[in-house]
Structure 1
Amino acid sequence: MLGWDRFVAVWASVNLLWVAFDITYVPLRTFWLQRNLYPIPSVPLVVPLTVIPDVTPLVDPIKGIEPHRETQAYLEQFRQLDAALLTLPAGQAPQPRQVLLLNRQAQLTAQLIDSNPFLASEASGTLEKIKNRLRQRADRDSARLASSLLLSPERIRTSGWSQERRFWNDQVLPLVATNYWRSIDENGRPTDHFWRIDLLLFQSVFVLDILLRLIRLRRRLPGLSWGDALLRRWSDLPLLLPFWRWLRLVPVLERLQTSGLVNFEPLRAVVSRGVVALLAVELFEVLSLQILDGTQGLIRSRRWPQRLRALRSHQSVASSSDERALVELVRIWAPLLLSRVAPKLAPELQGLLGYSLRQSLERTVVPAPLRQLQPLLQVETGISRQLASGMVDSLLELSRSTGNQLSRRDDVQLDLLQRFIDRFWEELAAALESGSALERSQELLCTLIDGAKGTYLSQINRAGIEALIQELDQLMTAPGPASPEDPATPAP
């Protein structure tokens, strides 16, 4: 199946090129007809691309494009004039038949300027180019007067037909030849038979490929229905749409990536990194503001005491298995803190308590005149150290025994803990109801959150997308610690 996937990926790429050519053919028909490139529009610099074949005879019928009658008559009349004047010697006045052809060509030029047949192809700018070149050639302000002067017998006699012929063939007739007429269908839209080629050569292959992919998906996931499988392949839908055909770029890139023909992962990573950074900042700002506003709403609520009382076990709406979750958490953490963490802090507690006792003895027990005696200070320091050590040892022993007792599962102990926690919530709610602490606490907390809004969110904006991307690049490209299996790491 890998060969089939690669064929479809290549065929879809060809279809994407064909779609791009079809979409741009009408606007770029002048280029495909003349195969000339104008790098600077305001400068008459032409780069001929004759290596490109003329595809207009093949594509014009598909798009319903036909030669315009008026401009074709103009070109045909000029060919007759050119054939008649080629035999005219330089410096000789034109013959009566040649003068008649010159007058006829001047009349057609004036008619071309007045009727503007380029409106049918929405190329009125082409007519303006023709008029500007006629004015520059004859040095006149009127294009009609300039065309009459350039096609006059006196001009042909003095300048010679070879020079004038070069001007018309190089500057005017190629622009006239770009005009066309496009037919319309029964729906009033321009004729376009592209869908027939697309349906026969490309979409039929895409339908078969999508069907095979659905079959493989259902084999991999037997419980998946056809509808769900089709929804999972939603990215293939643009391949079958007759409109918005530029969306086919998505499934084409997906097929090129999955078939292994092209690796778009580095490009996807770069693009997604920028998009994610941009969206992350915007999304985080919105979420942060919503969280802060919601927190302020909870803080301003007058139901704080009721919510605290609702935390009691007999007011909780939790299930029976979760009613004593807080008690179980206390039973687990209390032994951990009292039996393991607190004994490790004995030196620090002794130092802190000894310093406090020494300061108390200096202020209350030892008179000021005796504080300068060094032996008395040493005795004082020893006494405070022994008292601190004894007190800490007693506290730690009590903490250790309490932790060991709490680590044992005891129903009476759990009931006492539960009663303690319930009493705590009740007394806290009563304290908030009786005084002004609730309103003052609400005001202070809301003020702190308002300050966070004004500083933190503004700092996010000032950080900028580029700083985030640079930080991410530094994190992604930072060298990690060498692993033992790394062949570049020298052996010990």
Structure 2
Amino acid sequence: MARPRWQRPRPRSTGVRGLVWDRFVAIWATINLAWVAFDLTYVPLRTFWLQRNLYPIPSAPLAVPLTFIPDITPWVDPIKGIEPHRETSTFLQAFSELERVMASPAADPALQTRLLQRQAELMAQMIDSNPFLASDRAGTLEKIKNRLRQRVDRDSAKESARLLLSREWLERHSWARELQFWREQVLPLVETNYWRSIDENGRPTDHFWRIDLLLFQSVFLLDILQRLIRIKRRLPGLRWDEVLLRRWTDLPLLLPFWRWLRVLPVAERLQTSGLVNLEPLRAVVSRGVVALLAVELFEVLALQLLDGIQGLIRSRHWPERIRALRSHQSVTSSSEERELAELVRIWAPLLLAEVAPRLAPELQGVLGYTLRQSLDRTVVPPPLRQLKPLLQVESGVSRQLAAGMVDSLLELSRSAGQRLAQRDDAQLDLLQRFVDRFWDELALALERGPALERSQDLLCALLEQLKGTYLSQISRAGIESLLRELDALTVAAAPKGSSSVSPPAEPPTPRA
């Protein structure tokens, strides 16, 4: 698509230092945008960053391990105010102690039984208190309860946990197999729980703004100040508030909220610095928006235009409007500039002195044919029409008469055209008087006769028919064909070797 004027690539910064700085800020802003996206999605995706497992089917325990991703939760959790939950941490520590005792061959069976009972009590307590509500993960406890029920085929999750952690169950099932069940299906879900502190404003603790302010927004503020100074030096007549308005797109870089809006200034910096060419993406988005809105926009504009024309046509002040076209009543006319009379003075010599003489053969043919038909019907009697010599004489006479008449008329028009081509104030006054008299007579004729109402009715009916035919033919398919035609014209008009890449920098306009 053709690029709008307001979206043409802006000239790049002059000088190597300015270009290097702009590209550094563009890269730094891109890193900040990625950091903002990571911060906004960290809490919802903390389970993934903690376990580095991908679950293709959420309802199934099938996991795809991504061990090459490092565990970043120990560094990011303090920034978000996340701490281990006491209840789930106690459960995990008790299970670690139970695993150590059960793996020891010389362990006391009474100690093992006591640890199993304590683990069952902790599980029952966790089911009753539901500590996952603190992290908005109530569904995690339901997953644990469902897996416990499915393991022993019972209706109660507490009874299922008590049975799984009993000596009777472990005597019939090996501890290694049960330990695998707990490690793979229960403990990973318990580990996902956490507790998040609250600041003095009653909101979850988040120290992201400190990193954003120190590492990124300070650089953005320096860059924005440099850009404002450049604009002020280039256009010293602008006030500082007008300069600030010219860089309103940089505001999201300094806002501590709505940080996802930073994608707009980041894209603008990547485009202007020449690191990324976003013009194809902009063209696709513009094409989609135009395709969606063009039909409604065209219909509204066309309907408004036709309604306005109908309102003018139905007005009873047509004669007054026509009289207002006279030179002494027109608001826009002046004694020095008589547009209509000047136009007649230019076109009349053009038609009479240049166009009409070139039509001499055609005019002679038409006039000669007309004279021959008249002579044949009035002068030559019917019995003599069969004589060929007489017909030849008649044809020659008609050609001579036609040639003489055409030559006389063309000589008259040529002389009149040459006369009109000369600058003459009296001639302009006569032409102006003729035009004014024409408007007066036309307005008087419309006032006296029925032509005004009849013309209004016919024109309004014509516009109504135009509404029904033209507006009904507007469709999205037609808009798509127009867009394709516009693309073809744009490509055909583009010079060879040109592309949609940003053109080279234009030299700054010298100031007067």
Task: Output aligned runs, 1:249-398, within 5 Å.
Answer: 249-276=263-290, 278-321=292-335, 324-361=338-375, 378-398=392-412
State the partner residue of 1:446. 460
The one of 415, 427, 434 equivalent to 2:448 is: 434
| Alignment-mate amino acid for residue 2 of structure 1 | L
Q: Which residue is equivalent to 1:243?
A: 257
Normalised to the residue count of structure 2, the TM-score between the two structures is 0.86
Pairwise CA distance, 1:407: 1.0
2:29 corresponds to 1:12: yes
Contact 2:345 / 2:421 at 8 angstroms: preserved in 1? yes
Q: What is the Cα deviation at residue 466 of structure 1?
A: 3.0
Deviation at residue 242 of structure 1 after TM alignment: 0.6
**Deviation of 1:198 (Å):** 0.7
32-41 or 361-370, which deviates more = 361-370
**Structure 1 residue 218, shift from structure 2 partner:** 1.8
Aligned positions of 1:84-123 closer than 5 A: 84-87=101-104, 95-123=109-137
Distance change >3 Å, CA 29–CA 364, structure 1 → 2: farther
DSSP-derived class of the 2:475 partner: helix
Change (3 A) 1:331 1:161: same
> Structure 1 residues 462 and 226 mapped into 2: Cα distance closer, same or farther (>3 Å)?
closer
Q: Which moved more, 1:3-12 or 1:348-357?
A: 348-357
Q: After superposing the two structures, state which structure 1 stretch, 279-288 or 112-121, moved more.
A: 279-288
1:399-434 deviation digits (Å, cap 9, x = unpaired): 211111111122222221111111111110011111
- Distance, in Å, in 1 between the alignment partners of 2:21 and 2:495 is 43
Structure 2 distance, partners of 1:375, 1:113, is 129
Report the CA distance shift for 1:110/1:310 in structure 2 as closer, same or farther (over 3 A): same
Given that residues 94 and 153 in structure 1 are in contact (C-alpha distance below 8 angstroms), is that contact kept between their aligned partners in structure 2?
Answer: no
- Residue 376 of structure 1 and its aligned partner are, at CA, apart by 5.5
- Match of 1:125, as an amino acid? G
Deviation at 1:290, TM superposition (A): 2.0
- Once the two structures are superposed, residues 84-120 of structure 1 have per-residue CA deviations (whole angstroms, 9 ceiling, x without a partner) of 222369xxx9933322322322232233233322222
Moved more, 470-479 or 163-172: 470-479
Q: Matches of 1:6 and 1:479 in 2, distance apart? A: 32
Q: Which has the higher mean CA deviation after the structures are superposed, 377-386 or 401-410?
A: 377-386
What residue identity is the alignment partner of 2:76? Answer: V
Q: CA deviation at 1:68?
A: 1.5
- The CA distance in 2 between the partners of 1:35 and 1:58, in whole Å, is 15
For structure 1, the residue ranges without an aligned partner over 5 or more in a row are 484-492
Q: Could you say which residue in structure 1 is the equivalent of 2:66? A: 49
- Give the distance between the partners of 2:88 and 2:479, measured in 1 at CA: 56
**CA–CA distance in structure 1, aligned partners of residues 108 and 380 of structure 2:** 139
CA distance in 1, matches of 2:337, 2:493: 49
**CA shift for structure 1 position 481:** 9.1
2:180 paired residue among 147, 166, 180: 166
Alpha-carbon separation, structure 1, partners of 2:359 and 2:139 = 89
* Aligned residue number for residue 159 of structure 2: 145
Distance in 2 separating the partners of 1:399 and 1:238: 73
Paired letter, 1:450: E
Give the direction of change, closer, same or farther, for the CA distance of 1:159–1:340 in structure 2 (3 Å limit).
same
Residue of structure 2 equivalent to 1:406: 420
Q: Could you tell me how far apart the structure 2 residues matched to 1:343 and 1:281 are?
A: 50
Matched, 1:25 2:42: yes
- Equivalent in the alignment of 2:5: none
| Offset at residue 456 of structure 1 (A) | 1.8
- Determine the C-alpha separation between the residues in 1 that align with 2:181 and 2:472: 66
Matched AA of 2:455: S
> Aligned partners of 1:271, 1:221: CA distance in 2, in Å?
32
The answer to whether the Cα contact below 8 Å between 2:61 and 2:185 also exists between their aligned partners in 1 is no
Q: Is the 8 A contact 2:98 2:116 kept in 1?
A: yes
- Do the aligned partners of 1:313 and 1:323 also contact (CA within 8 Å) in 2? no
CA distance in 2, matches of 1:306, 1:359: 48
CA-CA distance at 1:372 after TM superposition: 6.4
- 2: CA distance, partners of 1:307 / 1:481: 49
Q: Return closer, same or farther for 1:82/1:355 CA change in 2, 3 Å cut-off.
A: farther
The CA distance in 2 between the partners of 1:164 and 1:150, in whole Å, is 8
Aligned length: 480
Output the amino acid matched with 2:166: S
Q: Does 1:127 align with 2:141?
A: yes
Q: Is the 8 A contact 1:334 1:406 kept in 2?
A: yes
What CA distance in whole angstroms lies between the structure 2 residues aligned with 1:262 and 1:198?
A: 24
- Code of the aligned partner of 2:233: R
Amino acid at match of 1:410: D
Question: Are the counterparts in 1 of residues 294 and 479 from structure 2 also a CA contact under 8 Å?
Answer: no
Structure 2 CA distance for aligned equivalents of residues 480 and 220 of structure 1: 31
> Corresponding residue for 1:177?
191
1:3 and 2:20 matched = yes
Question: Which has the bigger relative contact order, CA under 8 A and spacing at least 6?
Answer: 2
- Of 273-282 and 109-118, deviating more is 273-282
- Counterpart in the other structure of 1:223: 237
8 Å contact from structure 1 (residues 277, 468) kept in 2: no
In structure 1, what residue type is equivalent to 2:69?
A: I
CA contact (8 A) 1:19 1:246 kept: yes
Instruction: Please give the per-residue CA displacement for 1:284-313, whole angstroms capped at 9, x wherever unaligned.
Output: 333222221111111111000011111112
Letter in 2 for 1:409: R
The alpha-carbon distance between structure 1 residues 480 and 14, as it changes in their structure 2 partners (threshold 3 A), is closer
Inter-CA distance 204–159: structure 2 relative to 1 (3 Å threshold): same
Give, in angstroms, the shift of residue 276 of structure 1: 4.4
Query: Is the aligned partner of 1:209 residue 2:209?
Result: no
Distance 1:184 1:363, change over 3 A: farther
Q: Which residue of 2 aligns with 1:77?
A: 94
